[in-house]
Structure 1
Amino acid sequence: MSKTSKSGKVIVIVAPSGAGKTTLAKRLLEEYPSIRFSISATTRPPRKDEVDGEDYYFLTDQEFDRKIENHDFLEWERYSSYRYGTLRSEVDKLVESGYFPLLDIEVNGALNVQKIYGSAAVSIFIEPPSMEVLQERLQKRGSETTDSVEKRMERAEMEMQYAHHFDHTVVNDDLDTAYVQIQAIVEPFINK
């Protein structure tokens, strides 16, 4: 894809775990070839079927520390006992290729990216219809323990307090409706 005057813009999607962020992001990526997912780096071990450089860049603690020291991250955060970060080089590579990077990141990281990119970033906070619905979604995953659901719910309550700091808020009560709302935000942004 050739560079355009529109390049340099980033799309940031933020949400508590279980709000539907990943599902909605995947739909955007499927429908808009000019949007590409920015692969994050992490210190957590790969899960079954995850591929280094496709799902994440899997780094040792020492490699992650070196990248922090070299200011290689746009943002990074500790989640549970692992660290996750957005590599500047990954975003730059996408922008230089004429794509719109899609960042699926945590609240603090998203706030930092907004500061760096200003009006060249659009941020969308995906909100669950209620905390009860969010808890049900997390429990239905089947991959969460009672303890991890509790921790995710505590974190979600904190994250929800920051929703008003983002450019747009979309309540994901119905996946299709939420997606149409996201399209209405993203299309004008990438086409102006």
Structure 2
Amino acid sequence: MTNPEVVAPTIPDSDALHRRGLMFILSSPSGAGKTTVSRMLLQRDERLRMSVSVTTRSPRPGEVDGRDYHFTDHAGFERMVEDGEFLEWAHVFGHSYGTPKAEVKAGLREGNDYLFDIDWQGTQQLYQKMQSDVVRVFLLPPSIDELRRRLNARGTDSAEVIASRMERAKAEISHWDGYDYVIVNDDIDICFAKVSQILASERMRRMRQTGLIPFVRELTAPDS
């Protein structure tokens, strides 16, 4: 369902003053709209980039090393874990994924914003290490019945797989209170507009406006 009257805020191409970037996390159970909203954000906001993870899985057709993922083997991944090179990492369906620490920290200093499509466990890891740089948003379905309907509508999973996804979804939903913002996604356009408003507001938080200090000093300097 779409709503033509809902328009996401227009975001300027650049900031007048330098600011520190942020880590924007979107989490949701499967079928609640996280992937769709993430794709809309990346398409409409040139200043937002997807965090490029390190993974042990093989590249899929069309994927490019360094653009889609940083591909490595299990031994290389474990060395990176031991050396503390990840902000967060996890084993998922037989493969390992991790967020490279140095790349993200350097980007934040330059004012880059990163989008993270991760679960509540990865969110906890990032927040424990980066605290004020992290903005956590959780999307909820309007109802369990609607979530089941969306999963069935995909037509890609068996009844057994859908049942498993539903159980996992309930477990993920139970961690809703570990997020800064919680949005019920009963209309994708309205949901996207709300998420965009959160991102725009968080970019303007005083603590991120590092260029304000010298700017205000100049404004308040004694007349020469």
Q: Return the alpha-carbon distance in structure 2 between the equivalents of residues 6 and 67 of structure 1.
A: 30
SS of residue paired to 1:77 = strand
Where do 1:128-139 residues align within 5 Å? 128-139=141-152
SS of residue paired to 2:90 = strand
Aligned partner of 2:50 in structure 1 is: 37
1:122 matched to 2:165: no
Where do 1:102-181 residues align within 5 Å? 102-181=115-194
1:99 matched to 2:112: yes
Q: Return the alpha-carbon distance in structure 2 between the equivalents of residues 186 and 108 of structure 1.
A: 22
1:185 matched to 2:198: yes
Aligned partner of 2:85 in structure 1 is: 72
Where do 1:17-56 residues align within 5 Å? 17-56=30-69
Cα distance change, pair 9–88 in 1 and its aligned pair in 2 (3 A): same
Moved more, 25-34 or 138-147: 138-147
Q: Return the alpha-carbon distance in structure 2 between the equivalents of residues 21 and 134 of structure 1.
A: 13
Structure 1 segments unaligned to the other structure (5+ residues)? none
Aligned partner of 2:98 in structure 1 is: 85
2:141 alignment partner AA: P
**Bigger-Rg structure (1/2):** 2
Cα distance change, pair 154–58 in 1 and its aligned pair in 2 (3 A): farther
User: CA contact under 8 A between 1:38 and 1:90: conserved in structure 2?
Assistant: no
Residue 93 of structure 1, CA deviation: 4.1
1:109 alignment partner AA: G
Q: Please list the CA deviations of residues 66-87 of structure 1 after superposition, one character each: whole Å capped at 9, or x if unmatched.
A: 1111111111112222222211
SS of residue paired to 2:20 = coil
Identity of aligned residues (%): 35
Moved more, 31-40 or 87-96: 87-96
User: CA contact under 8 A between 2:21 and 2:203: conserved in structure 1?
Assistant: no
Equivalenced residues, count: 192
TM-score (norm 2): 0.77
User: CA contact under 8 A between 1:40 and 1:84: conserved in structure 2?
Assistant: yes
Q: Return the alpha-carbon distance in structure 1 between the equivalents of residues 152 and 54 of structure 2.
A: 27
Cα distance change, pair 90–132 in 1 and its aligned pair in 2 (3 A): farther
TM-score (norm 1): 0.88
Residue 63 of structure 1, CA deviation: 1.7
User: CA contact under 8 A between 1:77 and 1:85: conserved in structure 2?
Assistant: yes
User: CA contact under 8 A between 2:53 and 2:70: conserved in structure 1?
Assistant: yes
1:133 alignment partner AA: E
User: How large is the Cα RMSD of the aligned pairs?
Assistant: 2.2
1:181 alignment partner AA: K
Aligned partner of 2:70 in structure 1 is: 57
